[in-house]
Amino acid sequence: KAGVTQTPRYLIKTRGQQVTLSCSPISGHRSVSWYQQTPGQGLQFLFEYFSETQRNKGNFPGRFSGRQFSNSRSEMNVSTLELGDSALYLCASSLYQGIQPQHFGDGTRLSIL
């Protein structure tokens, strides 16, 4: 059974650009959550999607957005990139909303120049 797949694995952007990251959950999983990992702030929750609807949102500015498609695949978008957005972005999936545990992908490493 394939795990959570995140693409791309590495990304380099410059300030002011925008970026889209993709996450394919484990087959049959319908809930997808996103986390940002940085050395300074650690692991922080961004948002959660279930049945194509955002169910929960962390304390991030509106530049961070996401969506989920009918096949449960999810994308997150960051607009007007800032140096501080450099991080490892992790996606996690679970069967349903509110059901643990979550299974994590290997992440997308985003570097802002």
Partner 1 sequence: GDSVTQMEGPVTLSEEAFLTINCTYTATGYPSLFWYVQYPGEGLQLLLKATKADDKGSNKGFEATYRKETTSFHLEKGSVQVSDSAVYFCALSDQNNAGNMLTFGGGTRLMVKP
Chain positions contacting partner 1, by CB under 8 A: 4, 6, 31, 33, 35, 42-45, 48, 55-56, 58, 90, 92, 94, 97-107
The least CB distance from residue 85 to partner 1, in Å, is: 19
- Closest CB to partner 1 among residues 14, 27: 27
- Cβ-in-10-Å burial (0-12, 13-18, 19+) of 49 comes to buried
How far apart, in whole angstroms, are the C-alpha atoms of residue 49 and residue 51?
A: 7
The least CB distance from residue 55 to partner 1, in Å, is: 5
- Closest CB to partner 1 among residues 12, 14: 12
Token pair in block for residue 101: 């545990």
- Closest CB to partner 1 among residues 15, 52: 52
Q: Which of 68, 1, 61, 60 is nearest to 33 (CA)?
A: 68
The least CB distance from residue 35 to partner 1, in Å, is: 8
Strand 87-94 versus strand 103-104 pairing type? antiparallel
